[in-house]
Amino acid sequence: MQLPLDDPRTGQLRRIHAALIGAFGRIIRPPDKRRSPEWTLVQGVIGAQTKTAISNASTDALLARYGSWDAVADVPLPELEAMLTAQSFPRVAAERLSACLNRIRDARGTVTLTHLSNLPTAEAMAWLETLPGVARKNSAGVMNASTFNREAMVIDGHHRRTMQRIGVVPEKADTAKTFDTLMPILPEEWSAADMDEHHLLLKKLGQRFCKPRSMDCANCPVLDDCRTGQQAISR
């Protein structure tokens, strides 16, 4: 029996991954950098349009000051907002975080995500996306980048933009559509760690070569596989 052929985009993703490793080196998240699912959720909920390092520091500061996520859930909104002044939108971050933590506690009796370890990844992500402030990027982040280490591709703005310009996903695909397009065509040999690395590499690509308002196509490491880049240099 003849086996089905890979989607052409699968080979494209393999080549892009190899080219990015050649350009940026390996980006492998060590085990001690994988935080708890709860920490990862909080970091994602408060992190809208804020640099990762800042959101990481804010998340660590919350846990250091209050000692547990249940205690954070009880913090009055003005105090919580004051703790999140480094975030781009501290009031919104505080409101979303408080609502999210309290929704979890209402459902589970305490702020914990341990029950998700018993669920298939898609079901766990669907449950997370019922929480205030949690969309596809955050749910995938909890499953992939935390100690869960599940096979789910995290899609941020850089990742989505580069995939659109390269031509792997539709030009106007939102995060959920990008995720739904990419997951079935990922190389079958990729592990959860490979997906994490691929996301981090594409993030670097978006930050250095494929910026929102400017593109350095001539020097881009994935030019050979990029539809937009090929069009740009042929003009």
CATH class of 8-28+154-233: mainly alpha
CATH 1.10.1670.10 in the chain is located at 8-28+154-233
Tokens of 36: 């708890």
Q: Residue 232 CA to chain centroid, in angstroms?
A: 29
- 233 pLDDT band, cuts 50/70/90, is confident
User: What number is the average pLDDT over the span 89-110?
Assistant: 97
pLDDT greater than 70 at residue 25? yes
197: closest CA among 162, 153, 232?
A: 153
Structure confidence at residue 5 (pLDDT) = 63
Q: Which residues pair with 210 in a beta bridge?
A: 215
Alpha-carbon distance of 47 to 91, in angstroms, equals 12
Structure confidence at residue 61 (pLDDT) = 98
pLDDT in tens, 44-76: 999 988 999 999 999 999 999 999 999 999 999
pLDDT greater than 80 at residue 1? no
CATH topology of domain 35-145: Endonuclease III; domain 1 (1.10.340)
User: What number is the average pLDDT over the span 14-37?
Assistant: 94
CATH 1.10.340.30 in the chain is located at 35-145
pLDDT in tens, 143-200: 999 999 999 999 999 999 999 999 999 999 999 999 999 999 999 999 999 999 999 9
Are 95 and 120 a contacting pair, CB within 8 Å? no
User: What number is the average pLDDT over the span 12-34?
Assistant: 94
Tell me the residue ranges of DSSP E strands in the chain.
none
pLDDT in tens, 115-148: 999 999 999 999 999 999 999 999 999 999 999 9
